[in-house]
Amino acid sequence: MKNQLRIIGGEFKRRTLAFAEIDGLRPTPDRVRETLFNWLMWDIQNAHVLDLCTGSGALAFEALSRGACQVTMIEPDTTQARFLKQNIQLFKNENCQLIVSTAQQALKKLSGTYDVVFLDPPYSLDLWQELAELADPLIVDKAYIYVEADRELTQLQLPNSWKKIKETKAGVVRAGLYQKII
């Protein structure tokens, strides 16, 4: 069984991508995605992007479509990873790396640095604080971090160096854009 999402902007606008039907897998809603990429409009170009909990790939592929120069996706589910690999081939993009692993395992091995990070873990796992702490050393000064949750963002215990600069809400989804200020 598979589901689909549509890229909403950039080079691959309107392209449809398939993803697996897995409990807890929920693409970022179109309205929230549009808001996020309006926020990042001038900063996504040529950015090194890290998508910590890729899931459907909605955020990662949207970033590629809008000019990110490198995207690293992390997805532990092997069924969904197959869909992501097919979508990477569909985009014919060598600037996209998929790591099939938990975010915790992958973050301990990554050595690059990132300008934009997406932190959107499965809500039921409550991984925001743990992943934020593991990812923080890889995030450059003045980088942007997008955080999505099903609760008030103030409850997430994110690093003190992450300053919230924008916030939006759509249904149960609460989303914030943070900037790392050292």
For residue 157, which phi and psi values (nearest 5 degrees)? 55, 60
Domain that holds residue 102: 29-180
Q: What is the mean pLDDT of the chain?
A: 94
Domain at 100, CATH number: 3.40.50.150
SS3 153: helix
Q: pLDDT of 52-61, one tens digit each?
A: 999 999 999 9
Burial category of 63 from C-beta neighbours within 10 Å (exposed 0-12, middle 13-18, buried 19 and up): buried
Is 3 part of any domain?
A: no
Is 13 part of any domain?
A: no
Is 8 part of any domain?
A: no
Please write down the HEC assignment for all residues of 50-79.
EECCCCCCHHHHHHHHCCCCEEEEECCCHH
Dihedral sign (CA 53, 57, 34, 174): negative
Determine the Cα–Cα distance for residues 36 and 173; give it in Å rounded to an integer.
Answer: 13
SS3 7: coil
DSSP string, 11-42: TTTT-EEEEE--TT--PPPHHHHHHHHHHTTT
Is 10 part of any domain?
A: no
Is 2 part of any domain?
A: no
Is 65 part of any domain?
A: yes
Q: pLDDT of 93-115, one tens digit each?
A: 788 999 999 999 999 999 999 99
Is 5 part of any domain?
A: no
Is 120 part of any domain?
A: yes
What does pTM read for this prediction? 0.95
pLDDT band at residue 91 under the 50/70/90 scheme: confident
How many independent structural domains does the chain possess? Answer: 1
pLDDT band at residue 2 under the 50/70/90 scheme: low
